Structure 1
Amino acid sequence: MTTFPADLDPELHERLITTGGGALARKMGIEFLELSAEHSVARMPVEGNTQVIGLLHGGAHVVLAESLGSVSSAIHAGPGRYAVGIEINATHSRSITEGWVIAECTALVLGRTLATHEIVMRDEEGRRLSTVRMTNMLRDAR
């Protein structure tokens, strides 16, 4: 069950509930556990997200991170606004072949027009797998 902030924009809440974070997040098996602008947590199974030799695909790390960073930025943007990714980078430190990846997203900057988050992926034993930094531009809805 996902924990949402009390002041979450009702429209964003409805979108998160009805889409599960979007089609790609659902396909990847991403589960959002805690969501806020400042700190969010999600997890993703390794199974079904591996590359040809059985390691978790590096792109899967980035999909998990971007999914979490985008939602956190959208929460910060607030009602009548939305977030669009403008920059992302990833450093992969360790491989994984089974189990779950746990992602923890921490806000670095929460501004009026930009939000930057660091997302750290770890295995179930707490070992760092990858580190992603993502910046979103915050826009007014039309």
Structure 2
Amino acid sequence: MDQHKEKILSVCNEICKGTLMETLAIEFVDVGENFLIARMPVNSKVHQPDGVLHGGATVALAESVGSAASYIFLDGNKFYVRGIEISANHVKSISEGFVYAKAQIIHKGRTTQLWEIKVTNEADELISNCKLTTIALPKK
């Protein structure tokens, strides 16, 4: 991995310390020209009562990676990024291992951005398909 990618991932992981992302053990693992990938372990901490991944934890992962992608692709030094709408279709359950969330831009406007976040298991099977709208608010 080149130094630029390593630096981006390091910044993303560093700013998550002491936040919900750290609580859920979300880790940013890959970045490219138009995507960002994070992973989250699936264990009892993120299960619903019947022992499978909770949809809310999945959505928290999706919003985290989509918002982080907006932050890095829009220059987070100039903007605050906020999620303003998220939807999720959960299509498969998982009870252990890791899930991976890959955020890819659908629309990159000056103010709003639309992201598709596919959440997959370790076999690259679709777990959830999410869409996130973010807004970039200028820092003063």
TM range (shorter): 0.7 to 0.9
Aligned residues: 136
Q: CA 1:120–1:21 in structure 2 vs 1: closer, same or farther (change >3 Å)?
A: farther
Distance (Å, rounded) in 2 between the aligned partners of 1:6 and 1:28:
22
The TM-score, its normalising length taken from structure 2, stands at 0.86
1:111 deviates by: 1.2
CA-based RMSD of the aligned residues comes to 2.3
Counterpart mapping for 1:9-88 below 5 A: 16-20=12-16, 23-35=19-31, 38-47=34-43, 48-78=45-75, 79-88=77-86
SS at match of 1:52: coil
Gaps of 5+ in 2: none
1:35 deviates by: 3.6
The TM-score, its normalising length taken from structure 1, stands at 0.85
The equivalent residue for 2:97 is 99
Distance (Å, rounded) in 2 between the aligned partners of 1:7 and 1:45:
23
Gaps of 5+ in 1: none
Structure 1 stretches (4+) deviating beyond 6 angstroms?
A: none
* Percent identity of equivalent pairs: 35
Query: Pick from 126, 129, 132: which aligns with 1:128?
Result: 126
